[in-house]
Structure 1
Amino acid sequence: MTAAEHLLAAKSFAELRGSYSGALFIIASGPSTKAFPLQRYADYPMLALNGSICCLAEAGIAPLFYLCDDSSFVRNRLPLLLQALAHAQHLALSPRVVGSLLAQEPQALDGRSAYRFERVNRLPEGGEAMSDRRFARQARKDPDFECDFSWFRQKPNRIGFSRNLDKGYFSSRTIPYAGIQLAYHLGFSRVFLVGVDLDSSLGRFYEQGEQAVKSRLDGDYEDYILPCFRLMAERVINPGFQVYNLSANSRLPAEVVPKIDLDQLDALLAAS
């Protein structure tokens, strides 16, 4: 199948909406991931993001979903993406990732459970996306979205949260945030973030020295990442949907996403 045919055949997230419950772990690529005892929590569903698949594969854990929306990751880290194809139960891949992947490995997605992972306001090929302002104005009236709006600046119109992945996700310029939106869509009530350190100076746990790919975290943190997480904390988090950060040194403030240790994690899991 061609990339276009794979996209047409990709599954809809609508069929999975609200089909899960309980706790979910989102495994990111910050260095604190290496200190987290994955196997201790192997019975819980997990999401793998980009290169974090390597530690799940090493632990013998098949993540419920593998997420990737960065076509440069395909170019720079193809072996890791192929590892995800071999281990993940389901794939959530952006159209650009699908195109880049199949250009190098034409049969890579054959027989795989793949979902189209697309940002909000990205219409099917051949359509035209609205301006950020027009989309944000309409999104504010949609109960599936929480979204800021400004007539005067573009950036606030890109700050939001999607409760329905069939309508796309807000990127926040960091994929763990997309993973949280998927968790909400799937129906999970407690989300635990692993390796969401958001410190570009520390790099990714699976990269060293010259192998490291430059991160854009520092340039995006104040403009997109932190505002999106603040919006989530203020307008999405409720008694039925909670998010916790297992990175003690995460750049995200604890008042935005509460930081917990393993003892607190175990207590929350026991109480659920």
Structure 2
Amino acid sequence: MFKLFTPKSFKHMALSQPYLKLEPVNDIWKVYWKGGFISETDSWNNLRLQAPDNLYSIATGPSISDQQFNNLDGGQCVLVNGAVQLVLDNKISTPLAVMVEDARFIYERFEMLLALPKGTRLCLVASAMHALGVVAGVEGLKHFNLMLIDGFETPYGSPKRSVASAPVNSYRKSSNAKLSLDLNEGHFGCGTVMYCGIQMAFHLRVKELYLVGFDLTNFDQPRFYETKDNAAWTGLQNAYEARILPALELTMQTAEEFNMQVYNCSHTSIIPRSLIPYSDCLTK
């Protein structure tokens, strides 16, 4: 119904309807559920004040099973999607943030998130925040320190926009990819949730970024926290050449501009070592 009666420029709002409402106030959002006030989101500007020098962005590739986390400071970690299992397994401590850009993950795995400590910083796109309210209600929303991962070209509550209308220092683009440098303005997708963690690193202006569990191989194999019987579908194979590689090439070009070092800790990754060098810092 929303899509039928809404202008095309607002159709990106459909998956965050009908119960969630976000109201912008300076650099935060007030969160409402079914008309009732829930909380205020944290500020991306405030998070930047907590930025570590080094950041580990941890995904869910099977190589995670061969990684060592004993000496890893949890405050340096950003976990994407099911990587939260590492907290539940006591392999890392409280992360800097958890990032989810997929409402489907919320619907299928919300119980993993609710097992996280109360007050965990949870960064969600609007559709995923709506999904959390649907499956976990008001108490589920209140369990977390919420943050909105807005769409750079599809901002919440506003019509679609061109990147040309955004501040020029808030993004970089190539012929086939776009990269956010300021999560106040929003983020871009490229077919892998790891790109959220990468853009978090640029927002924080870290000196070194380590990509963990970023395999992009064995597309038919379960993630480290799944089994063959409950593995969710993945579109990585189709997205790899067309979207993911161009985004990673732009990542490395921009990292050089910002004097940021980026490493891939997956020993089984399909990503060329000539593009992102390998680090064995977490090898068992």
TM-score (norm 1): 0.83
Which residue does the alignment assign to 2:84?
53
Deviations 1:189-228 (A, max 9, x none): 1111110001213331111112011110001111111100
Over 3 Å counting, the alpha-carbon distance change for 1:242 and 1:51 in structure 2 is same
Unaligned ranges ≥5, structure 1: 150-155, 266-272
1:167 aligns with 2:185: yes
Which residue does the alignment assign to 1:62?
94
1:116 aligns with 2:148: yes
Does the 8 Å contact 1:198/1:217 carry over to 2? yes
Partner of 2:209, secondary structure, is strand
Partner of 1:210, secondary structure, is coil
Using the TM superposition, name which of 188-197 and 35-44 deviates more: 35-44
Does the 8 Å contact 1:120/1:169 carry over to 2? yes
Deviations 1:87-111 (A, max 9, x none): 6731111111110111121111216
Letter in 1 for 2:265: L
Give, in angstroms, the shift of residue 178 of structure 1.
1.2
Separation in 2 of the partners of 1:43 and 1:64? 7
Q: 1:3 aligns with which of 1, 20, 25?
A: 20
Deviations 1:228-268 (A, max 9, x none): 000111233346311100112211111211112138x9xxx
Using the TM superposition, name which of 162-171 and 37-46 deviates more: 37-46
Separation in 1 of the partners of 2:92 and 2:280? 24
Unaligned ranges ≥5, structure 2: 1-18, 23-29, 33-39
Separation in 2 of the partners of 1:170 and 1:194? 20
Q: 2:197 aligns with which of 173, 179, 185?
A: 179
Separation in 2 of the partners of 1:239 and 1:137? 21
Which residue does the alignment assign to 1:253?
272
Which residue does the alignment assign to 1:99?
130
TM-score (norm 2): 0.80
More strand by percentage: 2
Using the TM superposition, name which of 197-206 and 65-74 deviates more: 197-206
Does the 8 Å contact 1:18/1:185 carry over to 2? no
More helix by percentage: 1
Does the 8 Å contact 2:74/2:96 carry over to 1? no
Does the 8 Å contact 1:12/1:116 carry over to 2? no
Partner of 1:201, secondary structure, is coil
1:83 aligns with 2:130: no
Does the 8 Å contact 2:100/2:125 carry over to 1? yes
Separation in 2 of the partners of 1:96 and 1:64? 22
Which residue does the alignment assign to 1:153?
none
Letter in 2 for 1:235: T
Separation in 2 of the partners of 1:230 and 1:184? 15
Give, in angstroms, the shift of residue 18 of structure 1.
5.1
Which residue does the alignment assign to 1:233?
252
Letter in 1 for 2:180: S
Deviations 1:20-57 (A, max 9, x none): 23111111100111111112213651111101111222
Does the 8 Å contact 2:210/2:263 carry over to 1? yes
Instruction: Give me the identity figure in percent.
Output: 25
Separation in 2 of the partners of 1:239 and 1:146? 12
Separation in 2 of the partners of 1:94 and 1:214? 20
Letter in 2 for 1:243: V
Does the 8 Å contact 1:28/1:52 carry over to 2? yes
Does the 8 Å contact 1:64/1:88 carry over to 2? no
Separation in 1 of the partners of 2:235 and 2:194? 14
Letter in 1 for 2:170: D
Using the TM superposition, name which of 180-189 and 10-19 deviates more: 10-19
